[in-house]
A and B are shown apart, each in its own frame.
Chain A
Amino acid sequence: MSVRCIRTQATRSSTISLVTELSVETLVAPARPDQTGAEISAPVLPVDLRVTGLAKSFAGTPIFKDVSFGLSRGEAVAIVGANGTGKSTLLRCLMGLIPADAGAINVLGTDVRNSSSAGLRAMRAQMGLVSQKHNLVPRLSVLSNVVQGLLGQRPGIRHWSQSFAPIASREAALAALEKVGLAHLANRRADRLSGGQSQRVAIARALVGQPKILIADEPTASLDPAAGEDVMDLFFDLARQEGVTVIFISHNIDHALQYGDRVLGLAEGGMPLDSRASSLSAQELRGLYD
């Protein structure tokens, strides 16, 4: 891997008080591989996301507690952990899709746990989510599904279907499909796709709104090895070239190490691992699953 600047783990020592002054807080961002080496001091970028002391349980069964971490803009972060450790649950909490039990979540300056629903919508409109189960709307065309990814930014009937959508939105949707190599399936019904195709449509739907934060729950789980690499390369480029903060869950240790600047690991009801990927070995990462 290329040069990464060394950064202290400020995130671990964060306190609630830090969260309140989030808008002015900054962290040192990882260096971009495409930057010229002339610059010694790393660029200072704002923090996009901070979680402090997060806890979540379902019907009295604790899933995780005391989870804290922060992400700066343009960072690519892998979340790993065994089945059922709460990775997907954590992502849902981040977007305010399910309520957390305790702790603080601040995403793009929005206090997720105390925000109004309008505030949450404004925050989500700047994010993209690829769900583990893809969650395309069946019976609608692929293009309509991708157009609907713009609903957060442009609410209303025109984005219910590609048929009513303005030209600009249809073009944006087609461009997003092009990125995942599926422009030729734009008219196919979403429930007639293969597993890997539907996963890529879900990715296109998350990308169409040009999110500042992209959250992907096992985005390569249904993809063949080559397509999986393509998607991870795409995410990596978004992080490097467009400064998109990327959070991805992966059960693929190589992907986590190769494409993540940082790796967060969930296990035993907490987050025991938060390391820079370059300082981690595959062996160490495997230890998380024991």
Chain B
Amino acid sequence: MTDTSFPMGLPSRYERPSALAFLVYAAAIVIVLWSFAGAGFSIDKVISSPPRFADFIDRAFPPNLDPKVLARLGWKMLETLQIALAGAVIGIILSVPIALLAARGLIAPTWINQIVRTGLGFIRAVPDIAWALVFVVAVGLGPFAGMLAIAIDTIGFCGRFFADDMEAADKGPSESLTATGARKLDVVACATIPAAMPAFISTSLFATEKAVRSSTILGLVGAGGIGIELKVGFDLFDYPTAMTVILMIAVVVISIEYLSGWARTKIIGEQR
């Protein structure tokens, strides 16, 4: 049975890497080692840190569970979630028209696709905390600056991925609607967007998770939310309160991820 009737025999399971591939691998290893050096990697510090880390843990525990502090942090956490949700929703809504312009072969000519995609790339390249700094300058300290930062960050993310989702959507229904004589915009609204909808929902849920994570540190630069409490806790060496903040953030972020995973299966899983 092993003697097959294929004249060439079966192709081998693995390919031997070419000389070029070998050079690429070697170069990659060198670059990684070089990066460790650049990052100031020091075995001494790794060895000496556990005692200091233990010291921090020792001073931070037990976390501050004073009801008054908890209430204050709770309200701050709520504000954080409000910033995240408001910013994400505005960002997601604005992303739809922007993605329509960014998607190739949809309604806009290629040169517009290019410009919009480059703009979205720029938005993503600027870190969310930098956007927060910019908006603090523009609209002043407070949660509104944070919300704007989250919104623009969400546009950078959703604008790009919504566009990719629409480009990847099944072309059949849009061809059939084009064949009825429908205008491009009608075809997009009736066929392309519904076809891409599950992907949109999935992307939007990711964007909301991302927004919650970002919103927890916006306070570091005065853009609202619970981040300010973290900064104050460390600045005043009030490690138990800082620890409470860290634990709260962890619980909230993990819950949001769980919730969004649940929503994803509920909304999309069912529709398969």
- A interface list, Cβ under 8 A from B: 92, 95, 97, 120-129, 131, 133-140, 148-153, 155-157, 159-160, 191, 202, 205, 209
Contacts and interface: CB of A to CB of B under 8 A. Distances in A.
A148 B172 contact: no
Which of B173, B175, B197 has most A Cβ within 10 Å? B173
B191 interface: yes
A135 B180 contact: no
Residues of B in contact with A, size category: 20 to 34
A129 B191 contact: no
24 contacts: A97-B178, A121-B181, A121-B183, A122-B181, A124-B179, A125-B180, A125-B181, A127-B179, A127-B181, A128-B180, A131-B172, A135-B172, A137-B173, A137-B191, A138-B195, A148-B182, A148-B190, A150-B180, A151-B180, A151-B181, A151-B187, A153-B181, A202-B176, A205-B176
B81 to A, nearest CB: 30
B177 interface: yes
B194 interface: yes
A121 B178 CA distance: 8
B180 A148 contact: yes
A153 B177 CA distance: 12
Contact of B176 (A120, A121, A135): A135
Interface in B149-200: 172-173, 175-183, 186-187, 189-191, 194-195, 197
A159 B183 CA distance: 12
A140 B172 CA distance: 15
- The DSSP consensus for interface residues of chain B is helix
B191 A149 contact: no
Contacts of A136: 173, 176
Contacts of B186: 151, 155-156, 159-160
A121 B194 contact: no
A95 B179 contact: yes
A16 B34 CA distance: 70
A169 to B, nearest CB: 13
Contact of A97 (B175, B183, B191, B194): B175
A261 B119 CA distance: 57
Contacts of A124: 178-181
Contacts of A150: 180
Contact of A149 (B173, B180, B187, B189): B180
B271 interface: yes
B173 A135 contact: yes
Given A131-B175, A131-B176, A139-B194, 18 more contacts: A92-B175, A97-B178, A97-B179, A121-B182, A122-B181, A129-B180, A136-B176, A138-B173, A138-B194, A148-B177, A148-B180, A148-B182, A151-B183, A151-B186, A151-B187, A155-B186, A205-B176, A205-B180
Nearest to A118: B183
B195 A152 contact: no
Contacts of B178: 97, 124
Contacts of B191: 137
A167 to B, nearest CB: 20
A126 B182 CA distance: 11
Which of B173, B176, B178, B189 has most A Cβ within 10 Å? B176
